[in-house]
Amino acid sequence: MADDTFYIVLPSGEDVRQAQQKFPEMRLMISRPLWALNEPQNIADREPVDGETMKYISMKEAEQLWGEKGERVLVVEGNTVLVQEPSQFLQHFYHVIAELWLGIWVFWTGANSNGGSEDAVPPPIHRLIFARTPAQWMWDREHPDAWHDRPGMNAYLLHGVFPSMSIEDEEDWIDRVEITEDARRAFRFPSLLLTDRSASHRGHWTGSQNQRIASEAWEYVKEKNLIPTFSLKQGKWWRPFREAVWRYAGVEDFHKWTENKPVTITYWSRQLSRSRKLRPQDHQRLVTELDALAKQKGWRFNHVDAEKISKDEQISLISSTDILLGVHGNGLSHLIFMPHSKISTVIELFYPTGFAHDYQWTASALGHGYAAVWNDTHHSHHPKMWPNYPDGQNGDGGFQGDNIPVHAPYIAWLIEGRVEGRVDLMT
């Protein structure tokens, strides 16, 4: 990188046309880092500019710019992940860990698998650069910026699970740009994984199928068979990260008790949140119904208000969960820490006719069953469900409101049927 332009230096004897056949189209790799709006002008403005955003150059041109022996090249040793997007979506636990990092991890694992064991841990990532994201003002947690979320899960996980990984932000990137101003010097990243949200949305899977940027990486790994299909679809590639989180949170002897424990249902409540809540009477009926079901079957039921417990306690609860349910929202992001099993399932409660792909795609990518519930109806296999955020009726708030209905006996029936094999919720 020099003066904020990414250079791809071609091997001697290779021309640009040959290189372009080896790499994806530029617009599928990188964008101009602007906030994303669903407006024609903004969509056009985010397109990369050839020669400015990214540029192919020959080895001879590189030598002319930075010296025949690379005298003016500053080598950034180690493995680097560079996030080329502003903070628009990075203030959320789901978008940073359960989407961005999940996509990074599946690609990084696949790219470094070399046909090895499905449980192999990929090489360390030494550096994570949020190049277009300003620093978080630590004294203002109620108004998070950059890659921090209000509950603090992003920092808890990235710093806690990867204590040796350095994290840079936009200010650090500006320093690098100024050092290389007018391309008089360049930073060379021997191993760089570049991720760009807008570029992902131009891809087939994210753009026209599910709106999840991780899906481009997941589908590529599947297509190239970088991870065996069986292991990929059961989420075995994610296990090293998930278990690292368990250890960090203090979950002990999980290899023993995950095999011999009662079926565990965890209801992640949003009743203390600012929006998207169940009707109070439906919430109470749901808690009563699920508690009674668990007692009848000899199972375990957890009713979680995340605001009242620590992050370690949240991870501990989800690490033993088989069935996770809740209203659409960040709490369901904890599904990425739920162990995979024959009955592991996510049940997402929506205002009727509402839907979003966030947790449906993520659950499927990790091998869990999934059901979207509209009061007393569920959808699991429907291939044409598309995001929908209904306004509601009679002032009930609709998708974002506090009056989402759910028929508790139906949820109990659905869970019982899933556990006992009468209901297939695999997507």
Q: Is the pLDDT of residue 16 over 90?
A: no
Residue 143 has pLDDT above 60, yes or no: no
Amino acid code (one letter) for 157: L
> In this predicted structure, what is the pLDDT of residue 119?
63
Residue 193, Cα to own-chain centre: how many angstroms?
16
Sheet bearing 369-374, strands edge to edge: 300-304, 264-268, 323-327, 345-349, 369-374, 377-379
As a whole number, the mean pLDDT across the chain is: 92
pLDDT band per the 50, 70, 90 thresholds, residue 117:
low
- Supply the pLDDT for residue 139: 45
Q: Are strands 369-374 and 377-379 parallel, antiparallel or unpaired?
A: antiparallel
Token couple for 278:
């169940």
Looking at residue 426, its pLDDT comes to: 79
Percent with pLDDT over 70 in the chain: 94
Read off the pTM.
0.94
Residues 6+ positions from 100 with CB-CB distance below 8 Å: 83, 90, 195, 197, 213, 214
Q: What is the b/e burial string over 130-162, where b = at least 16 CB atoms within 10 angstroms of the residue's CB?
A: bbbbeebeeeeeeebebbbbebebbbbbbeebb
Predicted pLDDT at 140: 52
Q: Which residue has the higher pLDDT, 18 or 197?
A: 197
Q: 357-414, pLDDT tens digit by residue?
A: 999 999 999 999 999 999 999 998 665 688 999 999 988 999 999 999 999 999 999 9
Q: Which tens digit of pLDDT belongs to each residue from 172-212?
A: 999 999 999 998 999 999 999 999 999 999 999 999 899 99
H or E, element range at 167: strand 166-168
Q: What gap in Å lies between CA 55 and CA 187, rounded to an integer?
A: 14
Task: Look up residue 254 and give its two tokens.
Answer: 């999980």
Q: Look at residue 252 in the predicted model and tell me its pLDDT.
A: 81
What is the Cα–Cα distance from 164 to 155, expressed in whole angstroms? 13
Q: What is the pLDDT of residues 210-268, one digit of tens each?
A: 999 999 999 999 999 999 888 888 899 999 999 999 999 999 877 665 567 899 999 99
| More confident of the two residues 126 and 384 | 126
For tokens 């209203």, name the residue. 327
Q: Cβ atoms within 10 A of the Cβ of 172, count?
A: 15
pLDDT tens per residue across span 73-104: 999 999 999 999 999 999 899 999 999 999 99
Neighbours of 337 (CB within 10 A): 25
Tell how strand 73-75 and strand 369-374 pair up.
unpaired
**Cα distances (Å, whole numbers) of residue 349 to 36, 91, 412:** 28, 23, 13
289-315 pLDDT, tens digit per residue, is 999 999 999 999 999 999 999 999 999
Nearest to 404 by CA among 373, 382, 379: 373
Per-residue confidence at 39, pLDDT binned at 50, 70, 90? Answer: very high
